[in-house]
Amino acid sequence: MRPWSLIAVLPLVLMFLAPPAAAQPRPPFAIGGRTVPAGSRVDLDLAVPAGATDGATRVPVTVFHGAQPGPVLALTAGVHGFEFVPILAGQRLLTRIDLATLRGTVLLVRLAHVEAFEQRAVYVNPFDRRNLNRMFPGKADGTQAERIAWTITSEVIRRCDLHVELHGGDGAEWMEAFAGPYGGPLAEAQYAQSRVMALAFGIRNVIKYEMKTQAQVDNGRSLNRQAVADGKPTVLVEIGQNGQRDEASIATLARGLENLLRTLQMTPGTPTPPRADTRWFGDSAEATATNTGIFTPVATTGRAVKKGDLIGTVTDYAGKEIERIVSPVDGYIMYGLAGPPVRAGEAVVTIGIPAATPR
Ligand SMILES: [Zn+2]
């Protein structure tokens, strides 16, 4: 071959040797002072340093950073350490993500509240006695619950594009599962995506959480509302009850998470479409106890109620009935207090108000 002809074909040869622009390696994912190369998985602990009144802790996370581009999906389990179904479904997901085909990044918070889990603390942090799920965005120099919140806000929520918060019935709560996409005036721009994500779980009850006022987002801010405040499409999933490790619920949630990944086209395969019998709720109401004592619910399963229907009774410790709690609305009871303890002012059931049309 003469020199001039080599020069003529060189651009063509280089075109095949050099990867096209779209196949450039994906940048690494930065979290907790680490960088995760594209196409790899890292299990790490986000450090929560000691505070003035309580000790250091950690937030165990797993990053699956796919080689191919796509969204960063944050899944958070264990904000309430006695809600075991989400924690165990997350464990199951760890073996079900194939890095060879993953598009985008899955950021799994395996156990947001290690101290509550290990000490079997229902609702609250065992040191500061605060509900982590009312502490967001948290504080770098606050109590332990505030510092955990701050770590999750800064390292997880502000690094993700989409958020799914996983809860269930805590130690004293029965529950029928539901999924809750966030919408309303303050989250409407994200709602189309949130709705798709919520329906991917295949859970029959769906509550559209309408964020109408800034106070609703800010007061006692939960982790999911932190994601709403940061402008992420957000879904709350609640499944499992009474602090049990219930296999059927764990399997349902693990299947839902895998279907979510397919629905978002982050993993290959045809997603299962949304179910046709979805029950849509547009708002919720509560029935509340006005006395402290022993609560006996009429039933501990999801069910339709009419305004005035008996929800349960409260007796004092001498066995005398001191209160009959009735439903304040027509609706569908989604979850409630199993009892027996009840304190004055506590909600004993949450009642979904059916939406007139699919939302
Ligand atoms: Zn919870």
Give 317 Cα–ligand 1 centroid separation in angstroms.
29
Q: Identify the bridge partners of residue 234 per DSSP, sorted by sequence position.
A: 163
* pLDDT of 50: 98
CATH number of domain containing 38: 3.40.630.10
Give 347 Cα–ligand 1 centroid separation in angstroms.
15
| Domains held by the chain: number | 2
Give 8 Cα–ligand 1 centroid separation in angstroms.
67
Give 114 Cα–ligand 1 centroid separation in angstroms.
14
Count of helices and strands (H, E) across the chain: 8, 20
Q: Could you say which of 259, 277, 295 is where a domain stops?
A: 277
Give 131 Cα–ligand 1 centroid separation in angstroms.
9
Q: In this structure, what are the phi and psi dihedrals at residue 12, rounded to the nearest 5 degrees? A: -65, -45
Q: Is residue 19 part of a domain?
A: no
Residues of the chain with pLDDT under 50: 1-20
322-342: buried (b, 16+ CB within 10 Å) or exposed (e) per residue? ebebebbbebbbbbbbbbeeb
- Within this chain, do residues 266 and 297 fall inside the same structural domain, yes or no? no
Q: d(Cα 104, Cα 263) in Å, to the nearest integer?
A: 13
* pLDDT of 356: 82
* pLDDT of 22: 55
Contact (Cβ atoms closer than 8 angstroms) between residue 278 and residue 199: yes
Q: Could you say which of 260, 277, 294 is where a domain stops?
A: 277
* pLDDT of 358: 79
Give the domain range for residue 314.
286-354
- Within this chain, do residues 96 and 195 fall inside the same structural domain, yes or no? yes
Q: d(Cα 353, Cα 283) in Å, to the nearest integer?
A: 5
Q: Integer distance in angstroms from the first to the last C-alpha of the chain? A: 69
Q: Is residue 13 part of a domain?
A: no
Q: Is residue 14 part of a domain?
A: no
- Within this chain, do residues 167 and 315 fall inside the same structural domain, yes or no? no
Q: In this structure, what are the phi and psi dihedrals at residue 35, rounded to the nearest 5 degrees? A: -125, 135
Residue ranges of E strands in 55-161: 57-65, 68-77, 103-109
- Within this chain, do residues 48 and 123 fall inside the same structural domain, yes or no? yes
Give 198 Cα–ligand 1 centroid separation in angstroms.
17
- Within this chain, do residues 240 and 295 fall inside the same structural domain, yes or no? no
Contact (Cβ atoms closer than 8 angstroms) between residue 76 and residue 94: no
Closest listed residue to residue 329, CA positions, set 262, 279, 284: 284
- Within this chain, do residues 203 and 90 fall inside the same structural domain, yes or no? yes
Give 268 Cα–ligand 1 centroid separation in angstroms.
31
Task: Decide: pTM greater than 0.85.
Answer: yes
